[in-house]
A and B are shown apart, each in its own frame.
Chain A
């Protein structure tokens, strides 16, 4: 699927200016870049949470699922939260098992820890099938075990449904483990894009090289 070129301006300052992009179906595209590079704004515009400067939609006619950095637990049990996005109880049970939420099914979602809320929010999102799944740092609040379980689940979902996944992450290791495609943003501009391994092992732009060196890659 393709996004149109778009820009986003806040108080006369252009914070994002992106060309047309290809998001391959059945693949995970990771977006990396330093703080303030526009990753989350990019995700929000694609998800329709924020509007781009241009009037025409960046994506149209597609069902988009979006997981914000801090998901909101609705005032009900963990299981009911998951079932707000679909009535398939068997699917909810599978997702809760995969994310080790079974013991928390009846507990109020408001009482979950940060990591548990993140797992509940991921399970809730994966209840339905989307054309594009946008995940904004989905595992930042999780421990390593939960992170790996979540990564497996996302990869499996992407493979089985054939949807395109856009993964916003601060972890280069996570991008390497999960993504087939990589976008590197800096100060709202797309600096580099391509297949993950070639970009990480042999970046063509000095900015990417500098960024990766900082992470010891």
Chain B
């Protein structure tokens, strides 16, 4: 165990090419999917939290269901849609980074929607009463609301990024964990552990834990700064 950890640290410090490839694929998949999820999730979450319209409660229930969707179910769905018998087979996206990103967007957008909706539903009524009382228009009201949401937007993003980077089921199914192509940290840990090669798995585990720590540190700092 001790020697494996020592070797893993050496692997990180020596900038092993395979490790770097896994890290860059992970960064590409997780950063792209979390940014797309943010762009989709923030406006939807704000609208669901701030507005009252027919069908809103149905959408909220649907979103909560999607938050709890097992990643393998999401992976299975995209596998069926893009495999040789699926309606999107002609795109040839199966076992590509593109489909891994798409599957992750579907998995993490509901998290962002949920975080934003909860915050806005709590904040919007009081803000709106004050803004209306001052005679502000809808645009100014929304600008002020978004300003109130800044911390929530950052924390929703970091949470979704953390979920994306730790996710294994969907990316393994639609990406196929192909070395040097679609292998990300989580799928690589599984692959190398199954082979009995713990060194790279431990190195990736250490990096994942460090990233999780970093996300939490950033969240704490932002919480302090943005609540001022």
Contacts and interface: CB of A to CB of B under 8 A. Distances in A.
A64 B148 contact: no
Contacts of B136: 84
A47 interface: yes
Contacts of A66: 132-134
B126 A75 contact: no
Interface in B71-121: none
B3 interface: no
Interface string A69-109: 01110111000000011000000000000000000000010
Given A70-B126, A110-B228, A111-B228, A75 B133 contact: no
Interface string A118-149: 00010011001010001000000000000000
A129 B228 CA distance: 30
A1 to B, nearest CB: 16
A68 B147 contact: no
A161 interface: no
B79 to A, nearest CB: 44
B18 interface: no
A102 B132 CA distance: 26
A108 B228 contact: yes
Contacts of B127: 72, 74
Interface residues of B, number: 18
Contact count band on A: 20 to 34
Contacts, number: 54
B51 to A, nearest CB: 16
Chain B contact residues: over half helix, strand or loop, or mixed?
helix
A198 interface: no
A68 B228 contact: no
A102 B127 CA distance: 24
B137 interface: no
Interface string B217-228: 000000000111
A199 interface: no
Given A108-B228, A110-B227, A111-B228, A75 B147 contact: yes
Interface of A: 47-49, 63-68, 70-72, 74-76, 84-85, 108, 110-111, 121, 124-125, 128, 130, 134
3 nearest interchain CB pairs? A66-B133, A72-B130, A72-B126
